Chain A
Amino acid sequence: MTAPADPHRVRIEASDYRVARYAAAAIALSVAEAAIPTPLPGVKPGLANIVVLLVLLRHGWREAAWVALLRVFAASLLLGQIFAPGFFLSLAGSLASLAVLAPAAHLPRRLFGPVSLSLIAAFAHVGGQMLLARVWLVPHDGLWALWPVFSATATIFGAMNGLIVARLLAEPAAATLPGGGRAV
């Protein structure tokens, strides 16, 4: 390839393909999960976070942030929720969990595995959502009465998603991402 570099041509790198593939998987999980009825908005497994954590542990925080935010925008767009309150709650949760994952990713891996990261991210996720809901949607302290529900949700699904991430990382077949192969 010795063609002269075209300044208008966007260079697509391997990481871009990777982000796109992982984001597609995360979006698919989000859309599938939206079919599960939930008693309270916000009480759901958050399966897309499995993908985000997988990317974080395999390719670093930057790509994980891309996948997480692409997922929020694209899934909301597909579900017809974009710029609705639920979208902003989702965005706030994602930003909060990315914010805590940046330092948490530097925890000693020998002691703190994917389950730890997943729990930390899940709590940050519901924390960010609650904070935005308190400030914007329900400006009343009565909202905190819901906290135990979200705390329990974050504990259960945080641990579950973390275990799935640990399992996927441990599987040698899935650990490599071939050029045209499957995303996860």
Chain B
Amino acid sequence: MRTWLALFRPGDWLLLAAAVALTLLAGRALWQGDHPTRVVVRAGGEIVASLPLDRPGRLAVKGPLGLTQIEVEPGRARVATDPGPRQYCVRQGWLTRSGAAAICAPNEVSLQLAGRRDTYDSMAY
């Protein structure tokens, strides 16, 4: 091991450090997903609210079947309760990725996370 390390010259360390730094920076810049900043809530196809994702909040949206409760925490949002029969949108849990959506079809309420720019047209699970 020592004999191998002795083969390094000062500039070699410098370039190796630069190469590692470049790799890590490239990984961060290119692989970090777009963080969602807002959650868009729709009822009957119309946007009824657009909440920021940087602070917690709750919202009740009225649909044909009753109230859908939407809960927001920093960086994520979910449908807390819904009067729909199958509860798909509730069981989806917390949405964290930009473009992710939960749709409570029977109550005609949906929420979708939006980032600065839209990475995907839509996302399905």
Interface residues of A (CB under 8 A from B): 107-108, 110-116, 119-120, 123, 144-145, 147-148, 151-152, 154-155, 158-159, 162-163, 166-167, 170
B11 touches A111 (CB 8 A): yes
Contact of B30 among A108, A112, A144 (CB under 8 A): A144
Total contacts A-B at CB 8 Å? 66
Contact of A107 among B8, B11, B30 (CB under 8 A): B11
Residues of A within 8 A of B11 (CB): 107-108, 111-113, 116
State how many angstroms separate the Cβ of A1 from the closest Cβ of chain B.
Answer: 44
A113 touches B7 (CB 8 A): yes
- The majority secondary structure among interface residues of chain B is helix
Question: How far, in angstroms, from A151 to B24 measured CA to CA in the complex?
Answer: 9
A147 touches B26 (CB 8 A): yes
- Asked if B121 is at the interface (CB within 8 A of a chain A CB), the reply is no
Interface size on B, residues (CB 8 A): 17
Question: How far, in angstroms, from A110 to B16 measured CA to CA in the complex?
Answer: 16
State how many angstroms separate the Cβ of B3 from the closest Cβ of chain A.
Answer: 8
- Asked if B10 is at the interface (CB within 8 A of a chain A CB), the reply is yes
State how many angstroms separate the Cβ of B96 from the closest Cβ of chain A.
Answer: 20
State how many angstroms separate the Cβ of A78 from the closest Cβ of chain B.
Answer: 31
A170 touches B19 (CB 8 A): no
| A147-B30 contact, Cβ under 8 Å, with A113-B9, A163-B4 | yes
Question: How far, in angstroms, from A148 to B27 measured CA to CA in the complex?
Answer: 5
A167 touches B26 (CB 8 A): no
B20 touches A163 (CB 8 A): no
- Asked if B31 is at the interface (CB within 8 A of a chain A CB), the reply is yes
B10-27 interface with A by 8 A CB criterion: 10-12, 15-16, 19-20, 22-23, 26-27
Question: How far, in angstroms, from A159 to B15 measured CA to CA in the complex?
Answer: 10
Residues of B within 8 A of A119 (CB): 12, 15-16, 19
Residues of B within 8 A of A108 (CB): 11
Contact of B19 among A112, A114, A158 (CB under 8 A): A158
6 A-B residue pairs with Cβ-Cβ distance under 8 Å, sorted by A, are A108-B11, A111-B9, A116-B11, A116-B15, A144-B30, A155-B20
| A170-B7 contact, Cβ under 8 Å, with A123-B19, A155-B20, A159-B16 | yes
